[in-house]
Amino acid sequence: MKIGFIFPGQGAQSLGMGKDLYDQYEEVRQIYKQASQISGMDIAKLTFNSEETELFQTKNTQIAILTMSIAVLELLKKNGIQAKYTAGLSLGEYSALYCGGAIDFEDVIKIVKKRGELMQNLVPNGEWAMAAILGLENSLVEEVCQEITDGFVVPANYNCPGQIAISGDKKGVQIAMEKLKEMGAKRCLELKTAGPFHTMKLQKASDELKKELEHIEIRMPQITVIKNMDAKPYLEKDNIKEILAKHVINPVKFSDSIEYMIKNGVDTFVEVGPGKVLTGFVKKVSKDVNCINVNNVETLQNAIQLLK
């Protein structure tokens, strides 16, 4: 068995996520306590007892998802479950780098807090949207986006075969959704996001993030971490900080990342953190691999039984 850990990104959040793990495990409570001290935010209160509108703000969502993902990861590691490969969807790449030993706990909390703030506060004025397009070839979605001149819209997340997320201004995204429905899309679903993520509209946020990344230490990962940017592993020659800064303005190649891991022998994928969207993506890439999601006490115990 060759295990790959995959970490969710923004959109996987839900109010109360991880509460039963927090209640049951002292080590989880310690992680939340330490993350709260480092960030200056009460992450447990934000995640378990705030309003949904507060949790769903980008500056809060990212730190909440990261903290839960790390808590689940540490429980898996404590039970002897380790990965040979890891990847994350957008924000999840930071969890993957932490998993690979490339970045320490304090630094990953600090930089993800800053990333969330920048991605929320440096969005240009205007109405922005993202949408998931199901049931069409990537090339067709790309073509439609290129043809739209009355508005701005580009492919942002290549999630799995037959599913791509587009990002841009509300007008451009809505025009694209209408055209893609006419061309046979099974579904066009607007997402709960707050900006034109993974587009050039976040150039200012990317520039500022690059400056912030200079204040933290990032090393080469000790296990194979697959990049969103090109669906290939981080290598010694890579400037990880520069890649992470460019990450917010470039499309996420998650589907290709999963394909790379499968080609290199990963046969068991464990989704570490809130939700179970990523295991769904993996199943669309290949039905021949095992998929497990770990997001509460029950799924953790199930994973321990299956993987130890």
Could you confirm whether 90 is annotated as catalytic?
yes
3-state secondary structure 59-95: HHHHHHHHHHHHHHHHHHHHCCCCCCEEEECCCHHHH
The Cα 65–Cα 18 span in angstroms is 10
Please answer whether residues 233 and 268 qualify as being in contact, where contact means their C-beta atoms are separated by less than 8 angstroms. no
Could you confirm whether 215 is annotated as catalytic?
no
| DSSP β-bridge partners for residue 158 | 164
The Cα 117–Cα 111 span in angstroms is 10
- Among the options 36, 39, 69, 90, which is catalytic? 90
Please answer whether residues 195 and 122 qualify as being in contact, where contact means their C-beta atoms are separated by less than 8 angstroms. no
Q: How far is CA 74 from CA 27, 77, 134, 307, in A?
A: 8, 5, 34, 15
The Cα 220–Cα 198 span in angstroms is 24
Which ranges in the chain belong to alpha helices (H)? 19-24, 26-39, 43-49, 52-55, 58-78, 92-99, 105-121, 138-147, 170-182, 203-213, 240-247, 254-263, 277-285, 297-307
- Among the options 39, 69, 198, 255, which is catalytic? 198
Please answer whether residues 192 and 275 qualify as being in contact, where contact means their C-beta atoms are separated by less than 8 angstroms. no
Residue among 291, 298, 244, 300 at smallest CA distance from 269:
291
Three-state DSSP state, 42: coil
Q: How far is CA 4 from CA 94, 220, 221, 272, 305, in A?
A: 15, 18, 14, 10, 17
Residue among 153, 189, 184, 147 at smallest CA distance from 168:
153
Give me the active site residues, please: 90, 198
